[in-house]
Amino acid sequence: MEKFRVLVTGAAGKMGQAVMRGVLDDPDCLLVSAVDVRLTGTDVGTVLGREPLGIKIENDLQQAIQRSVPDVMVDFTVPDVAQFNVKTALQMGVYPVVGTTGIPEEQMEEIFSLCESENLGAFFAPNFAIGAVLMMQYAKNAARFFPNVEIVELHHDQKKDSPSGTALRTAELISQGRGVSRKEKKGFEKVAGARGGEYEGINIHSIRLPGFVAHQEVIFGGLGQTLAIRHDSISRESFIPGVLLAVKEAPQREGVVVGLENLMGL
């Protein structure tokens, strides 16, 4: 069996480095290229604190694809860069696995249209941690019985978008689970925004502080009881099993796939 040839964009970032380690350590995968505007020309092995690997970080995605001929591109960058990377990969016959969140809706629609018109596939996930996906599914199920709910998500202070893609996806699933449109009662805010933002009729609270990685708690309230479902990623390694699952499984699916749960049989 041939190995999955993987290119990583955002390679110099913390998540990009974690992905490269995961790919390098997986016997079924082969890291063939790394792309980033930072640390250009630096050997990936040096970046990861390992022996030189003969793979240097490049800053031109098209050239990197032409040279290394990857099967899959894993993208953990920022929204404006990710949308360019995804379109480039699709146009060059490379399957994109995307963990970048916050891509504008109109750009996502353009990507979806491109995939449909050209019969191409792509994978997007708001969260690659297996436990986080289970948390979202449990929350969807609980919403049938506890329609009153709020979401608190906590991330490191370098995260650009708020609320997180995971929180938005959780709100979507909860809305599906409870089956009716429901607007939470905010009451009077003495400080604007104290009750959080609102999405799909659900209050979402975003916290950005040093020390966090990625955490979320879904809190349900009912008559005389509460139910809290929480997931904590205490290191970026928590995302790697899900990324590797997507690298191996997603290209076998047709069209655009959103959410790791679709690869987990949930």
Judge whether 174 and 143 are in contact, CB under 8 Å: yes
Residue carrying structure tokens 């996502």: 108
- Active site annotation includes 155: yes
Sequence-distant (6+) residues with CB within 8 A of 3 are 27, 28, 29, 30
The dihedral of CA 223, 225, 228, 229: what is its sign? Answer: negative
> Rounded to whole angstroms, how far apart are CA atoms 12 and 44?
9
| Residue 225 Cα distances to 66, 150, 201, 220, 231, angstroms | 58, 14, 21, 9, 20
| Residue 227 Cα distances to 56, 80, 150, 158, angstroms | 49, 38, 11, 30
Which of these is catalytic: 140, 155, 215, 231?
A: 155
Which of these is catalytic: 3, 56, 156, 159?
A: 159
Residue carrying structure tokens 């969260």: 127
- Active site annotation includes 159: yes
> Rounded to whole angstroms, how far apart are CA atoms 16 and 9?
7
**Catalytically active residues, by annotation:** 155, 159
